[in-house]
Amino acid sequence: LKARVKHFVENPSDDSALPEKHVRRLPLLGRVGVTDTHVISLQYDRRTSYDAYFSVSTQLRRAYYELRDSASRRYFRCPLARATAEQQDVLRACYPQRISETMLP
């Protein structure tokens, strides 16, 4: 799941079936292509176990973290955990976490 989410959010090959990239001017990075209009929908119902919900939710969030960490290493030559607050803000803009959670009836 995590690998699929990363591929979906990053859209490395500009696949028209994936979220469209928009060129944005970001501080510290200049002009970069970002998929800032995508949304990942996590839907569950009353029968969903907490463990299943938590596992999926964790994988979604880890995918975003790994994308940002990789970008931090590429752009700033340091892991995300050591990036400055300003650098982390830019990386969040580069890979905005857009997760919608809905409980189905």
Q: What is the pLDDT of residue 59?
A: 98
The pLDDT assigned to 68 comes to 98
State the Cα–Cα distance between residues 53 and 66, nearest whole angstrom: 20
**Nearest by Cα to 32 from 94, 98, 96:** 94
- SS3 call for 101: strand
pTM value?
0.94
Handedness of CA 87, 15, 19, 53 (dihedral sign): negative
For residue 23, list its beta bridge partners: 33
- Render pLDDT for 48-70 as a digit per residue (tens, 0 to 9): 999 999 999 999 999 999 999 99
Which tens digits make up the pLDDT trace of 6-54?
A: 999 999 999 999 999 999 999 999 999 999 999 999 999 999 999 999 9
